[in-house]
Structure 1
Amino acid sequence: MPIRSLDETSIRALATRESFERGRDYWRRGAVSTLVRRGDELTGEVEGSEIEPYHVTIRLYEGGVTNARCTCLYDWGGYCKHIVAALLKFAKDPDAVMERPSLRELLNSLDHGRLVDLIIRRLNSDPKLGGWIEAELATQPHPGRRTPIDPEPVAAQARTVLAGRYRQRHYWDDYRSSGDIEELHALVDKAVPFLETGDGRNALRILETIADTFVVEWIEFASGSDEHMYELFVDLGRMMAEAVLMSDLKAAERDALVDTVSGWQDQLSDYGAEEGFGLTLRALETGWNEPALQAVLAGEAKTWPPADYDDDWEERELTAVRLRVLDAANRTDAYLNLARAAGAHPSVAIMLAKLDRMSEALAYARETFTLPDESLQLAKVLRDGGRHEEALAIAESGLSLGRSKRGDNNEADDEGFELADTWVGGWRPGRSVVPLAQWLRDYAGPMGRRDLALKAARTAFEHTLSLEDYRAVEVWAGENWKSVRRELLDLLKAARQARDRAEILLDEGLIDDAVRSVGEGESYETSDDVLMRLMDAAHASHPDWVIRVAERKAARIMDAGSAGVYDLAAKWLERAAQAYDAAGRIDEWSARIEGLIEQHRRKYKLRPLLEALRYDR
């Protein structure tokens, strides 16, 4: 079955301009092979720069793409070129896609004996599979289970995963992080089903076992060098806090666990992971018994946390944990009371939606939401629940909650995003409208709502003034691009700051405007690469500017004796030479380069680069 609206336009919107162009080149060169579709999953191999091809996995739905992963290391926004190439082949050459039954269908067709034989054969070539199976079976939840799980298979699997992550690769690589962080998260996530069903004790057994192994093994093998583990310890601590609040621990059990967790925290603090298990300790200390908290849960008090907890981020985070525990226990009234008292507006609206009180949820959102990311949280939940029209409507209304345009003020950080005011607990998100606008753009377009995708794309660009968001507007503007382009460029030119301004103007062929925006090239706003591209385009029309800026850039490198970047100085001087030639001043250049050769004659790495710049008549 073809995927509606998955065409080149919608694929282009999923990636940066460079990734899309390179992905399209990969597709045209036939780099995509073995494209297989199993139900809503598309997999393929794409030849790249490594000997082994990259593996791409794409999750599809009727309106486009919900998720995609690639084994390459790309992590710079949008999907990578390999995913783009696979999507283009899927959209443009459907006959090349092999339709296969899903693995679930294949396995369901086997009787018990054949399935066991299949697994045993695989174990002969993959001995680690046995440990994985034992850990999976040991942590398999089932309705009504309260028997204690066996933690030893979990501990063994944790040691296996970490040994793979910190194994010594090759002698020239030294020790480096080599395992997949997703494996580590998958191991921690074994506790999630127990948390979701309110089985805090078994969740705690899993998490305590994993945490103890991770702390010891990480310190022994990694020596605090893996920042991913810092984040994982925080996740572990948060989940353990949830399990603690979900479990009816006896005083002796609580005291023993406090000693254990305090020991982990002391060890981690020596390696800079101070926040790892602080939340767990807070949960162990406070529990549910505080009278003020009990009053809130019963609906007898309207504010949480109390005034003496103001600006206590850990208490706000713990409140978010409490909400998850109440959700798992189906204590919806207490959940709504606490969420309202804490000002967790998205949590209230999301719970109302889950209770199928949709009109109440939407009304509450429109009445209370003041930040764009609040709308984004609710919109994602509505989308995942198949309520697409409601999701689009809430997201669109959230666009108006953003601050003033970047072009109208300068309340933005260096990355082009507005200043954020974030609560760790998750209900007071950043003020920037950009994440919502980009999400809505990429969601509405493949759903066939090009008008809404254009509105969201324009909103994103108005706040970031980035090249990527500019090109996204072009994708969805269609036949209106000419008039929209003029409005965007006027906004770009008037902005006080815009990191991609020169590049956008250059790409649009507005050389005079680009040169004016760069000035004397002293701003960090324009990269050397863009500045050189601009010089290549402007050397005939603005030779004096090119000569002045290029020679100054080169002189700083040469005079500083920065031998490692002499080649960069030569590149600047190449641009100057082009401008001298275009202006009919080649004799002046010849004299200039001879003077530089003489001036730097003792710099043996620089001199041949300068001599190569002599004008050859």
Structure 2
Amino acid sequence: MSIPQISEATIRHNSNASSYSRGQEYYSRGAVIDLKKRGNTIQAAVEGSEIKPYRVSINFDAGGVTSVDCDCAYNYDGWCKHIVATLLTCSRSSAIIEERPTIEQLLNSLDHLQTQRLVQELLQKNPELIDDVDCFVSLRNSPTPATKSPSTNRRNKIDVAPIRSQVRRILQDGLEQLEYGTEDDPFTEELTAIIEKAQEFAQNGDGNNAIAILEAITSTYAEAWDDLAEYGGDSYSIVEPLDNAWTEAILCAEIPEAEIIDLRVMLESWQDEIDADFAMSLSALQQGWNYEPLQLVMNGETDAQIWEGTRPDFADDLALIRLDFLDRQNRYTEYLNLAFSEGMTLQYLTQLAALGRVDEAMSAAKTQMDTAESAFALAKILREDGYLSEALGISRSGLSLPGNCTYEFASWTSDLAEGLGDRAIALNACIVAFETRPSFRDYVKVENLALDTWSIVKQDLLEILRESESWYAGSAKVDIFLHEGLIDEAIKTVKTDSYYASESLHRVMEAAIPHRPDWVIEKAKKLAEEIMNSSKAKRYSDAVKCLKKVKAAYSQLGQQAEWSSYRAKLEYTHGRKYKLMDLFKELNKS
């Protein structure tokens, strides 16, 4: 696949002003080197401030960029300057991109002995990779579980004594912190990390060892409960992860009938001791996988229901744990039947798409897709599998659904539609993004997409902006009003009652000098005088920054004499503040 056209407007939209400007500088000086295309991936090295170049990787499809990565430390606001420089190079100097084979093509050209020699040489250079190789080979050589078997049922139990000791140490240290009056939670983070170890065993099919670890954690916690309760400890934050982990372990293990009874008694006892709710794990223990209503549901009986009467609060969580297990077992028919019966629309639709049953997924989506989250997840899977037009169709209809991902979904849809050349959908989706979360970037993107209709669309966006009361709309209002020359509206938007003059306020004052010099004089004087009168020497430079605007505003009014008089008054009042007077010299330069 050739590289899709990535417009510079798209690059600008996905990066902040600083990153874009610096990226242009990097491009201009030829900092992007070793630019290669391997399949649907662009790789580059970008020479920056460090001795070793930064590595950039960009994945794409026919709809445009799907993901970007750079090993620099930047992780703030959009694409970093190295990614910007790489994409600008792809856009402006695509002829220098060297096309190279993919890793699959390279490995396919080697025989068994050559592949083995390659791995050995790589391990000599990178010995830390031996653990990855060991894990890969171990998993590959492990026997595949039978289709219907819920567990590999490994009988060997790990030594849980170190785990008990670790839990006791966490609880003892936490109790000491409670005694000293800490208000922070001294237990949950470390205990949750141990619980996650049990979950790793369960997810690898070793439910027995997962149960052994959880038994050690829960019993040790229960033993210390009286002391925890005495110092105001509560089990709320630890019970939910424990209940989830117990449920997952139970469903991954083959537990003899006698042990089921013992385990139920233990869970019920712990539940009473530590004031917990293990209803989900107890239900999983009672039902297991052979529970007749569950079997009927997984076998596709349309009239079957797992729950009689009121559906418990934990039903969705239990269904998700069961679905994860069935997915790991490749039991896709049972997965789909269970997801459909339990109303897990997102899981049902995305699994159909992941299995390549795209027509079924598209048909089911018409009647079952009920949230933006389910539509977004389905669209992303369709795109990953190469069904770009189908992904765009789902996105177009899914954007009108309720959900909490509307902004991200709309931005993603706009980028995909633009990459596929559908400007109308790209424009509409970007307007939805702006309505959801007004920003200067999306405003400019809509402007680039609207073309001849911009004069009409602009008025709609400005009205949306004026009516928006969301906290993040503040900076967007300043940026957009200044961009459109609406100085009075920018003045109304920016905060002027703060002791600290924000960067936005400085920008508005700068822009207002030719239009509202009287307002600039009033606000800038007030800010400067507050700093000087409080004798905050560290902030004298901010005061002078404001005074420069006062000077420019007086000049705009043709009142240089008034400025000279005002400055003389300040020098008389603050003349003994030598650091401030030294900074006053800057006022002669402008």
TM-score (norm 1): 0.71
Is it true that 1:568 corresponds to 2:549 in the alignment? Answer: no
Q: Aligned partners of 1:319 and 1:493: how far apart in 2?
A: 45
Match of 1:577 in 2: 551
- TM alignment of 1:229-248, pairs within 5 A: 233=193, 236=196, 240=200, 243=203
1:442 pairs with one of 389, 411, 415: 415
State the distance in 2 between where 1:98 and 1:344 align: 46
Indicate the SS of the match to 2:419. coil
Question: In structure 1, what residue type is equivalent to 2:246?
Answer: L
The alpha carbon displacement at 1:438 in A equals 0.8
> Does residue 524 of structure 2 align to residue 550 of structure 1?
yes
Choose the corresponding residue for 1:484, options 457, 461, 471. 457
Out of 280, 286, 293, the residue aligned to residue 245 of structure 2 is 280
Other-structure match for 2:496: 521
Equivalent residue letter for 2:286: N
1:338-378 Cα deviation digits (max 9, x unpaired): 43454422223334445666555435433344432221112
Partner amino acid for 1:25? E
1:45 match: secondary structure:
strand
Q: 1:538 aligns to what?
A: 512
Matched, 1:433 2:398: no
Aligned to 1:188: none
Structure 1 counterpart of 2:214: 258
Q: Which residue of 1 aligns with 2:482?
A: 506
For 1:102-181, list aligned pairs within 5 A. 102-140=102-140, 144-145=143-144
Structure 1 residues 347 and 106: CA distance shift in structure 2, 3 A: closer
Q: Which residue of 1 aligns with 2:76?
A: 76
Q: Secondary structure at the match of 1:43?
A: strand
Report Cα offsets for 1:286-306 as digits up to 9, x if no partner.
535336973765666557697
Q: Out of 255-264 and 471-480, give the one that drifted further.
A: 255-264
SS in 2 for 1:365: helix
Q: Is the 8 A contact 1:238 1:279 kept in 2?
A: no
How far apart are the structure 2 equivalents of 1:382 and 1:52? Answer: 38
Among 286, 292, 313, which residue is 1:289 paired with? 286
Residues 95-136 of structure 1, C-alpha deviations (whole Å, 9 max, x = no match): 211222234433443444444444444444433233443343
Cα distance, 1:200 vs structure 2: 5.6
Q: Distance in 2 between matches of 1:105 and 1:65?
A: 23
Structure 1 contact 437–460 (Cα < 8 Å) conserved:
yes
Given that 1:58 and 1:68 are in contact with CA atoms closer than 8 Å, whether structure 2 keeps it comes out as yes
Deviations 1:517-557 (A, max 9, x none): 33x62489x98222212222211221111122222333444
Identity %: 33
Partner of 2:26: 26
**Post-superposition offset of 1:33:** 1.0
CA distance in 1, matches of 2:148, 2:54: 38
Distance 1:574 1:598 in 2: 18
Measure the CA separation in 2 of the matches of 1:576 and 1:264: 69
Distance 2:150 2:469 in 1: 55
Kept after mapping to 2: 8 A contact 1:15/1:79: yes
Mapped partners of 2:309, 2:576: distance in 1: 72
Distance 1:487 1:73 in 2: 39
Q: Is the 8 A contact 1:441 1:453 kept in 2?
A: yes
Question: Contact conserved, 1:56 with 1:83, CA < 8 A, in 2?
Answer: yes
The 3 A distance-change label for structure 1 pair 260 and 231 is: closer
TM-score of the superposed pair, with normalisation by structure 2? 0.74
CA shift in 2, pair 1:328/1:198, >3 Å:
farther
CA shift, 1:460, in A, is 0.5
User: Shift in Å at residue 239 of structure 1?
Assistant: 5.1
Larger Rg: 2
Please give the alpha-carbon distance, in whole angstroms, between the structure 2 residues aligned to 1:255 and 1:238.
7
Aligned-residue Cα RMSD (Å) equals 4.5
Q: Check 1:136–1:517 CA distance in 2 against 1; reply closer, same or farther (3 A cut).
A: same
Answer whether contact 1:241 1:279 (CA < 8 A) is retained: no
Deviation for aligned residue 1:446: 0.8
Residue in structure 1 matched with residue 429 of structure 2 by the alignment: 456
Which residue identity is paired with 2:212?
Answer: A
The answer to whether the Cα contact below 8 Å between 1:539 and 1:575 also exists between their aligned partners in 2 is: yes
Q: How does 1:391-430 map to 2 (within 5 A)?
A: 391-402=391-402, 430=403
Q: Does residue 67 in structure 1 map to residue 77 in structure 2?
A: no
Contact in 1 for aligned 2:528/2:547 (Cα 8 Å): yes
Query: Whole-Å Cα distance in 2 between the matches of residues 292 and 20 of structure 1?
Result: 61
Offset at 1:237?
6.5
TM-superposed CA distance for 1:458, in Å, is: 0.8
Alignment partner, residue 339 of structure 1: 339
SS in 2 for 1:69: strand
8 Å Cα contact 2:540/2:580 also seen in 1: yes
The offset of 1:234, in angstroms, is: 10
Structure 2: gaps of 5 or more residues: 175-183, 225-232, 251-280
Q: Would the alpha carbon gap of residues 25 and 259 (structure 1) be closer, same or farther in structure 2, given more than 3 Å must change?
A: same
Give the match for residue 322 of structure 1: 322
* Partner secondary structure for residue 50 of structure 1: coil
Aligned CA distance change for structure 1 residues 444 and 567 (closer, same or farther; 3 Å): same
How far the C-alpha of 1:452 sits from its partner, in A, is 0.8
CA–CA separation in structure 2 for the residues paired with 1:450 and 1:384: 22
Give the distance between the partners of 1:335 and 1:582, measured in 2 at CA.
73
Q: In 1, distance between residues paired with 2:149 and 2:80?
A: 39
What is the alpha-carbon distance in structure 1 between the residues aligned to residue 69 and residue 17 of structure 2? 19
Is the Cα–Cα contact under 8 Å of residues 204 and 243 in structure 1 kept in the other structure?
no
Please name the residue that 2:39 is paired with. Answer: 39
Assess if the C-alpha contact under 8 Å between 1:265 and 1:277 holds in 2: no
Whole-angstrom CA distance in 1 between matches of 2:191 and 2:413: 28
- Tell me the equivalent position of 1:416: none
Q: Is the 8 A contact 2:571 2:581 kept in 1?
A: yes
Task: Report the AA paired with residue 528 of structure 2.
Answer: A
Give yes or no for contact 1:392–1:440 (8 Å, CA) kept in 2. Answer: yes
More helix by share: 2
